[in-house]
Amino acid sequence: MPTIDKAGSRCARRTVRPEATIARSWPLGRIPHAKAGGRRVACLPDRKSPEAHGDFLQYSLGVYAAPMCNPLPGLAAALALVCCANTAAAAGTPIAALDFELKDLTLDPNNQAERERTASLGPLLREALASRGCRVIEVDSTAQNTADKGAGYLFDHADLAAALGRGFGAEWIVVGRVHKASFLFVYLKAHVVNARTGQLTADLSVEVKGPQKTLTRRGVDALADQITAAIDSNKRSDGARGEKY
């Protein structure tokens, strides 16, 4: 239950550390404080008061911060650390990303535009992984075609995909597929395989609605984020067990 000070202001029952300061200035100075049960609390204006409504909204956006006055730089730095956590773990990781295959289940499986988009995905994904700090390993297309004995063979056989990756010095290998069951959208699928163990680590998928190049690139970027997150998670679990890369 809020307490009311002599001026009729609402006092939020929120304990304030002695060294803390209010991040935003009150129009007529600092936010007034009062004693309540031996605790120092911030007194907020009554939101029912028309003249104080705007000031209350301004205060509502304030943040208790100590010792800095503006919390935004710290918040931005924290968000940057969260966004880069997966990238940091995957940085320098030798990873191979094979060219994508097309699995078209529509009534027009020989769509040339879709084939061209599929052909562009491998280079786009390798570029996206490199921008996230991964050390991209190039796999010769001839070697990939030789290992891929039929449509979807490497996609369905993680152990053989792992052997292909190891042959080129990769610790991880990504086998991609475009799954098209509708003219309205496609799924960019990726199997993330640990080339050292031959195990399928992650089965990832991103939905892309529309053939536009910008949408395709966004889908590839989202897939790259998922891949680095999967590698990060695997490395952390292996690290907890004492395994080293």
Query: In the 3-class helix/strand/coil scheme, how is 101-164 assigned residue by residue?
Result: EEEECCCCCCCHHHHHHHHHHHHHHHHHHHHCCCEEECCCHHHHHHHCCCCCHHHHCHHHHHHH
Q: Tokens standing for 61?
A: 């956006």
The fold adopted by the segment(s) 83-240 is: Rossmann fold (3.40.50)
User: Would you say residue 83 has pLDDT above 80?
Assistant: no
Domain residue spans of the chain: 3-69, 83-240
pLDDT of residue 99: 96
What mean pLDDT, rounded, does the chain reach?
A: 75
The mean pLDDT value for 186-190 works out to 97
User: Would you say residue 171 has pLDDT above 80?
Assistant: yes
